[in-house]
């Protein structure tokens, strides 16, 4: 689950209430009933040793790049803390699958492939325009949508400077739009919590 930095203290209090208190070791907490929660810093945050450090660094504003892509749509932005300071959204028509067989099906498949390639090329151009000038100031690049579409956008050598910034966290988002990009900021700055309930 995602926990906003501002809600971390409250979330820990609720965990303690549900599990009759807890003990903490590093970024893992263990409830008295055996439940555990592993917390991970937000993308771009430095490594931390304990929950106190996590709370401090998670709340600090960071400049994060966002790249959301699905077949035929891409949204690229730069967030400074909770604010989107630069962005561009683009959509392309990519034909869906057809039930036709034979030559027609092959022709539609080629057309669909060409449309997807054109969309990826446009996505690459947008990423270059929005993200490359900011690359040195970004603490992380957070991606989301469809992995194949994102990988296609980032595959070109022109965007090589962005690859070391790409964070492991991958956002599950609908077709990229401006509002989706704005909503993704909250996910990109959230603390990731993996909760395991006690067995039995």
Rounded CA-CA distance 87/84 in Å is: 7
Neighbours of 181 (CB within 10 A): 23
Same domain as 119, residue 157? yes
Q: What CATH number does the domain containing 184 carry? A: 3.30.420.60
Same domain as 173, residue 103? yes
Domains in the chain: how many in total?
Answer: 2
Write out the E strands in the chain. Answer: 2-3, 22-25, 28-31, 36-40, 63-70, 73-80, 83-91, 140-145, 166-171, 191-196
For residue 39, give Cα distances in angstroms to 22, 26, 107, 124, 186. 14, 9, 49, 33, 16
Same domain as 99, residue 29? no
pTM: 0.84
Query: pLDDT tens digits for 144-170?
Result: 999 999 999 999 999 999 999 999 999
Question: Average pLDDT in the 168-192 region?
Answer: 95
Closest CA to 131 of 154, 113, 97: 154
Query: pLDDT tens digits for 96-145?
Result: 554 455 555 665 555 555 545 555 667 899 999 999 999 999 999 999 99
Same domain as 149, residue 75? yes
Same domain as 7, residue 68? no
Same domain as 67, residue 41? no
User: Would strands 191-196 and 2-3 be described as parallel, antiparallel, or unpaired?
Assistant: antiparallel
Same domain as 79, residue 43? no
Q: Is 74 helix (H, G, I), strand (E, B) or coil?
A: strand
Query: pLDDT tens digits for 53-99?
Result: 999 999 999 999 999 998 878 999 999 999 999 999 988 544 455 44
Same domain as 178, residue 106? yes
Same domain as 144, residue 177? yes
pLDDT of residue 84: 97
Same domain as 29, residue 69? no
115-118 contacts at long range (C-beta below 8 A, 24 or more positions apart): 115/72, 116/71, 116/72, 116/149, 116/152, 117/152, 118/92
Domain region containing 32: 2-60+190-196
Rounded CA-CA distance 194/138 in Å is: 26
Same domain as 103, residue 68? yes
Same domain as 42, residue 121? no
């Amino acid at each position: 689950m995602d926990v906003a930095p501002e809600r971390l203290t409250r979330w820990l209090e609720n965990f303690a209430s549900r599990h009759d208190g807890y003990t903490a070791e590093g970024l893992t907490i263990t409830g008295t009933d055996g439940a555990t929660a592993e917390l991970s810093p937000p993308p771009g945050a430095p490594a931390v040793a304990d929950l106190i450090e996590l709370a401090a660094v998670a709340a600090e504003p960071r400049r994060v790049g966002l790249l959301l892509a699905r077949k035929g749509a891409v949204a690229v932005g730069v967030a400074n803390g909770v604010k989107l300071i630069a962005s561009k959204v683009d959509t392309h028509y990519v034909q869906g699958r057809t039930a036709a067989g034979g030559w027609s099906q092959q022709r539609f498949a080629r057309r669909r492939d060409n449309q997807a390639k054109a969309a990826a090329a446009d996505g690459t151009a947008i990423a270059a325009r929005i993200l490359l000038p900011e690359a040195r100031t970004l603490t992380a690049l957070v991606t989301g949508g469809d992995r194949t579409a994102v990988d296609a956008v980032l595959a070109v050598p022109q965007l090589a400077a962005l690859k070391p910034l790409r964070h492991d966290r991958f956002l599950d988002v609908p077709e990229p739009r401006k509002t989706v990009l704005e909503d993704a900021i909250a996910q990109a700055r959230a603390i990731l919590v993996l909760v395991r309930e006690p067995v039995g």
